[in-house]
Amino acid sequence: MKPLLRNFAGSMQNLAESGPLLRDAVQSRNLRVLASMLGPAFRGLFQQRGRNEESTPMRLGYSAQFDWRYRRDQPEMARLYEAAKASQWNASTDLAWSTSVDPESADRPIIPDAIVPLVDHPAYQRLTPVEKGRQRRALMAWMLSQFLHGEQGALFAAAQVTSAVPWLDAKLFGSTQVVDEGRHVEVFHRYLTTKLEKLYDINDNLYVVIDALMTDARWDLKFLGMQIMIEGLALGAFGFLRAATQEPLLKQLLTAVITDEARHVHYGVLALQKFYATALSPRERAEREDWAFEVAYLLRNRFLAHEFYEEHWAHEMTRPQWDQLVLASGMMSLFRRTMFRRIIPNLKRIGLLSGRVRARYARIGLLEYEHLRAAPDLTAQDLLDDA
C-alpha cells in the first residue's frame, strides 16, 4: 500500500477502534471529558501527528502558580524530596555503556521468545533462529521506543506540574523529577540508537494521552495522567522487562530508572490524595473518574504493538486478527497485569474508583487488581522488589 493510503487506512481503523472510548465518554454524559479528549484524539488517532511530523507544537493553556509565602508544610513531600536528592545518578558514567550488546543473541536473548505474542503461531514457529532473533530485537526496540516517547512526555509534564502545583514542597520535588526525566530520555535514546540501532514512532494511543494531559488547563489532570497512569504503568512494565531480559546493560539501566520512577508515582499519590478528598465537588470528582477511565482504556490499547505488527506481520494477517492474537496470548496478559497492578490500587487510593465507574473497569478486565499493594516504600531495595 502507498504511504498516503496506508496512513488513511490506519486513521480510519484507529477511529473505528476508538468507538468504545467515545461511546463511554458519551454514555457517562460527561461532556467535559469528551471535549477534553476530542482534540487530542483527532490529532493522535486521525491525523497521526506523532508519526507524521518531525516535531509537534502543542499550545499550553495552564496557569503557573507562584508562592510568595514559601511554607514548608508538607513533611511527606519534603521526605520524598530528600530521597530524590540523595538518589541522583549520572547516566553517562554510572551505566556500563562499554558492554557489547548483541540484540539478536539466542544465548542471552534480549527478551524471551515466550514474550513474543506470536510464539505459538505456526507462522512464527516456521521462522529460522536468525529471523526469530530479529523479531525479538524489533519487539524490544518497539517497547523501549514507546518508553522513550513517554519519557519525553514525562519531562515536559514534570516541568508543567512543578510550576502549576500550589505547594512549595511539591514544587521542590518536581524540580528533581525534571532532572530525572531528562536522564531517562538520555538513557533510552542512547540505548536504542547505539545498542539496538532502531527507533519506532510513537504509538497513536500514547500520543493521545500525552497530548490530552499536556494541553489540559487543570494541573491535577497532569498528575493524574502522567504520575498516576503513564508512570504507574511504566513502573510495572520496567519491572517486568528487567526480570525478563538477559541483557546485562538493559537490566542495569532499568534498575536505575525504576528507583526514580517509583518516587514519581509516589509524588502523584501524595499530590492528589488530599486534594481529591477535600477540594473537589462531586461533579468535578466524576469528571476525573471518567477521564482516568478513558486514559486507562487508551493505555490498554497501546500494548497491541501495532507499529511492530505493521512492519513484520501485516502481510500475514489482518489487524483485527493480530489484535485478537495479542489479547489472547498468555505472556501479553501477564505483561498487562504487571503494568496495571499499580495503577488500579492507586486510583482507589486517591478516591477515583467509586461505584459509578467500577463496572466499566470490570468490563475491560482491569478491576481485578484493586486489592494489590498501592505504593511502594521509599527504600531502593523495596522499590526494586515491588516493581
Q: Which residues of this protein are in contact with Fe ion, per CB under 5 A?
A: 151, 154, 181, 184, 231, 261, 264
Name the percent of the chain in helix, strand, coil, to the closest 5.
70, 0, 30
Which of 281, 286, 275, 258 shows the shortest CA–CA distance to 342? 258
Across 348-385, b (16+ Cβ under 10 Å) vs e yields: bbbbbbeeebeebbeeeebbebbeeebbbebebeebbe
Instruction: Kindly write down the DSSP assignment for every residue of 304-365, as one continuous string.
Output: T-HHHHHHHTTTTS-HHHHHHHHHH-HHHHHHHHHHHHHHHHHHHHTT---HHHHHHHHHTT
Residue whose CB is less far from Fe ion, 32 or 251: 251
Looking at the Cβ atoms of 14 and 177, the one nearer to Fe ion is 177
CB of 249 to Fe ion, least distance (A): 18
Q: Report the alpha-carbon angle 6-9-12, nearest 5.
A: 150
Query: Cα(253)–Cα(251) distance, rounded to whole angstroms?
Result: 5
Q: Which is nearer to Fe ion, 261 or 289 (CB)?
A: 261
- Among the listed residues 147, 206, 209, the one whose alpha carbon sits nearest the alpha carbon of residue 181: 147
The answer to whether the beta carbons of residues 159 and 129 sit under 8 Å apart is no
Smallest gap from residue 80 Cβ to Fe ion (A) = 13
> Are 65 and 42 within 8 A, CB to CB?
no
CB of 266 to Fe ion, least distance (A): 11
Q: Smallest distance from the beta carbon of 150 to Fe ion, in angstroms?
A: 7
* Closest separation in Å from C-beta 162 to Fe ion: 13
Q: Which is nearer to Fe ion, 231 or 307 (CB)?
A: 231
Q: Which residue's entry shows cell 529471523?
A: 131
- Quick one: 117 or 150, whose CB is closer to Fe ion? 150
C-beta of 154: minimal distance to Fe ion in Å? 5
Report helix, strand or coil for 197.
coil
d(C-alpha 103, C-alpha 343), whole Å: 31
Distance CA 101, CA 257 (A): 19
Cβ 373 to Fe ion shortest distance, Å: 19
Cβ closest to Fe ion, residue 247 vs residue 261: 261
Residues 199-229 as b/e (b if ≥16 CB within 10 A, e otherwise) read ebbbbbbbbbbbbbbbbbebbbbbbbbbbbb
Q: How far is the CB of 173 from Fe ion (least distance, A)?
A: 12
| CB of 181 or CB of 220, closer to Fe ion | 181
Residue 148 beta carbon to Fe ion: minimum distance, rounded to whole angstroms: 10
Q: How far is the CB of 158 from Fe ion (least distance, A)?
A: 7
Q: Which residues contact residue 31 at a Cβ distance below 8 angstroms, ignoring those fewer than 6 apart? A: none
Q: Which is nearer to Fe ion, 25 or 229 (CB)?
A: 229
Give dist(CA 180, CA 135) in Å, integer: 31
Q: Which is nearer to Fe ion, 220 or 261 (CB)?
A: 261
Which one, 37 or 148, has the nearer CB to Fe ion?
148
